[in-house]
A and B are shown apart, each in its own frame.
Chain A
């Protein structure tokens, strides 16, 4: 009697395991440190009206907002993590409409999409690298945009097949950290620690021999940077 139950249980578990692959992570727009956009402003307004928050309604989830969210969570018996997930969202009375985070735009054109794209690429490629190493990865992408042997747009360079590992494995879609945003902005503002490099690789994982025939400019953290 005991044995079949064990087997049955393990089969059920196995089936559940298989089906768990089908459960996609549902993106109900979790707001956390670094988020920005209308929803953040909405949340800041609510938190201010209720006396948890006394900073500006900036649409940027920074330290003040983080503390305010924690205070709110503590008072409402929610998990105090400073992250606005589904529960905190419901308690705040925010509509769970999914909206892409956007920064406010002056008159139709902006670079904020570039910042976003670049920050994601930096975050995926250079997590855990020194700050200048993150700026350097951003600079390489921008140098490629300006280089004749590469695509002429940021998206074209980032999504070029066989170019970046995180594009192949999907980590490019992760939300970038604050540092990555900062690094992306510095790179767009013209900081280039690489001296004009258009290649970088991690010697521990790079398999191509060809890449070592490039002219190396310098090494930052785990990455080697090189020219044509």
Chain B
């Protein structure tokens, strides 16, 4: 009897393992299919959205009134946005689809810019119409290629679930697959479409903006000396060069240093090559219990900026969290707040030390502006506000629009119900340019 024990146990174990393996295999196949089908669904939807975008765009161009045109342009935006969203969640490597993604984003963005124009009653120019036509023909091309790809998917040539797995192992091989897969050729065709310049966040001109910062170029040694002087009161010592920041709008030196209280805390910063100004500074030390109130902290931040040689900066909003407070400053020229020229200062609430600074906005955009007299008086602008809101104050502010041009507006802080808003009324045309909702939290005021 005893000698059957071992074989029996082994056979049982084998059966159990086999059963378990079978179950696992089935389960993984189910997941695989599920994933594949999800990706296929997204792919179908992608095609649908591209087609719709193309059709809506053509309808916009045919529309007789600017009202109808605006409507179809907004539809184009929505469809392009959805298409882009579907495409980015398919398992393709970024390098194979980035041109297509960019095309979809710009298609939506350009449509919005044109819609905004026609909503204000501005007729589109000949060349803007030309661009729309061109975009439409590219959208048409994209949808045709995608449909052909879909045929391949249906005929079983492509399995998204597989692609996903391959992608995990080796992205180069996915790229190989992609070549048979038409996406590469779509990408190549997309390369040819023209550079678009318009009032929108994805316009080409934005990345070409030159910084306004002037001064002589400093060496790394000079940069270290200048940083040491600027942060002397923060007891920053032993500053050393870690690397250089290149190819950016604002090239600089990346430095690290120790903080002077001897426990080896490391801080880091970047100093611009032109002019030797601190671009950012970060001290990540642990913060003890708060000793300062927000007023004191704000005053410390103001004094620090003064000391750094930044004049005419006014605090615009503050936010405190985890024992530290970030104070945002904007430049004030005469009585106009210039929101592009932004500097942030971070104060530790335990001992009032400056533990962070960020000046990139200021350094890239700050210059003496030629601000025209507003066409509208503040009273006139106030008339444009919704009558249901309570106005707390109004002042002039220069704000960047989505295309990074600056427009002169009246900024009104208003109360509606429980919430506060900032409403910006164009000082020339009286159009409402932007609304921000202010969120009052226990830790500060957030503006979105």
- CB–CB B98/A186 < 8 A: no
Let me know if B208 is at the binding interface, CB within 8 A.
Answer: no
Query: Which residues of the partner chain B approach A7 to less than 8 Å between Cβ atoms?
Result: 6, 9-10
The reply on B180 being an interface residue by CB < 8 A is no
Residues of A within 8 A of B (CB): 3-4, 7-8, 11, 14-15, 18, 55, 60, 64, 104-107, 109-111, 130-132, 135, 146, 148-152, 156, 159-163, 168, 179, 181-183, 185-186, 189-193, 195-196, 207-211, 215-220, 226-227
Chain B residues, Cβ within 8 Å of A60: 322
Please give, as numbers and ranges, the residues of chain A lying within 8 Å of B334 by CB-CB distance: none
In the complex, the answer to whether B105 meets A148 with C-beta atoms within 8 Å is yes
B254 surroundings in chain A (CB, below 8 A): 193, 218, 220
Task: Flag whether B244 is at the interface (Cβ < 8 A).
Answer: yes
B289 proximity list for chain A (CB < 8 A): 55, 64
- Which residues of the partner chain A approach B5 to less than 8 Å between Cβ atoms? 4
Given contacts A160-B88, A227-B247, contact A191 B101 (CB under 8 A): no
Residue of A nearest to B445 (CB): A106
B74: Cβ under 8 A from any A Cβ: no
Interface range, B side: 35 or more
CB–CB A162/B167 < 8 A: yes
What's the Cα separation between A103 and B95 when bound, in Å? 37
Taken together as a complex, chains A and B put the C-alpha atoms of A15 and B93 apart, in Å, by 40
Asked if A106 and B439 sit within 8 Å, CB to CB, the answer is yes
Give A69 to B431 CA distance when docked, in angstroms: 57
User: Is the pair A149, B356 in contact by a Cβ cutoff of 8 Å?
Assistant: no
Is B440 an interface position by the 8 A CB rule? yes
With A107-B439, A131-B282, A208-B95 as known contacts, state yes or no: A152 contacts B81, CB within 8 Å: yes
A/B interface sample: 28 pairs, CB < 8 A: A7-B9, A11-B10, A15-B16, A104-B441, A104-B442, A107-B418, A111-B448, A132-B268, A149-B102, A151-B84, A152-B81, A152-B84, A156-B88, A160-B88, A162-B94, A183-B284, A186-B282, A190-B360, A192-B358, A192-B360, A195-B248, A207-B172, A216-B247, A218-B244, A218-B245, A220-B243, A226-B247, A227-B248
> CA–CA, A162 to B175, complex, Å?
12
B249 touching A196 by the CB < 8 A rule?
yes
Question: Ordered nearest first, which 7 A-B pairs have the shortest CB separation?
Answer: A195-B248, A131-B284, A148-B202, A149-B98, A161-B91, A148-B105, A215-B247
Q: In the assembled complex, how far is the CB of residue A128 from the closest CB belonging to chain B, in whole angstroms?
A: 14
Binding site for A on B (CB under 8 A): 2, 5-6, 9-10, 13, 16-17, 20, 81, 84-85, 88-95, 98-99, 101-102, 105-106, 109, 164, 167-168, 170-172, 174-175, 201-202, 242-252, 254, 256, 266, 268, 270, 280, 282, 284, 289, 319, 321-322, 326, 342, 344, 346, 356, 358, 360-361, 418-419, 437, 439-442, 446, 448
Contacts of A135 in B (CB 8 A): 282
Tell me whether A4 and B6 are in contact (CB under 8 A): yes
CA–CA, A14 to B98, complex, Å?
A: 48
Q: Using Cβ atoms and an 8 Å threshold, which residues of chain B touch A110? A: 439, 441, 446
A152–B243 CB distance below 8 A:
no
Residues of B within 8 A of A55 (CB): 289
Contact of A159 among B89, B90, B109, B441 (CB under 8 A): B89
Report the bound CA distance from A210 to B176 in whole Å: 13
Task: Report yes or no: A163 in contact with B6, Cβ–Cβ below 8 A.
Answer: no
Tell me the complex Cα distance, A73–B317, Å. 42
Chain A positions within 8 Å of B174 at CB level: 162
Residues of the B chain whose Cβ atoms lie less than 8 Å from the Cβ of A109: 437, 439, 448
Residues of A within 8 A of B248 (CB): 195-196, 217, 227
B43 to chain A, nearest CB (A): 13
Please measure, in the bound complex, the distance between the C-alpha atom of A131 and the C-alpha atom of B285, giving whole angstroms.
10
Distance between A205 CB and nearest chain B CB, rounded to angstroms: 12
Partner of B92, one of A104, A159, A161, A186: A161
Which residue of chain B is the closest to A206 with respect to CB atoms?
B171
Contact B105 A152 (CB under 8 A): yes
